[in-house]
Amino acid sequence: MNEEVNAVLQVYQNRVSTLLAQNIALEAKLTVANNTVAKLQEEVKGLDKPTSVPQDPDPVVDGGEV
């Protein structure tokens, strides 16, 4: 093969390797972000559930003015 063709192939292979590594790193970050979002969504679902508030057994009654 021609020396120039070999050089182009080498540059191409290096570039593909670099982009593949960047893609893998980005995919890993995306996976972590998606897991965090899912976890937070579960927490929000827990906050949406109504909780019962116990009623005061001895309500204060105002006798009015004297």
CA atoms within 13 A on the CB side of 5: 2
Residue 50 has pLDDT above 70, yes or no: no
Q: Which carries the bigger pLDDT value, residue 24 or residue 63?
A: 24
- Rounded mean pLDDT of 11-27? 98
**Which has the closest alpha carbon to 18: 10, 28, 6, 7?**
10
pLDDT confidence band for 46 (50 / 70 / 90): confident
Residue 53 has pLDDT above 90, yes or no: no
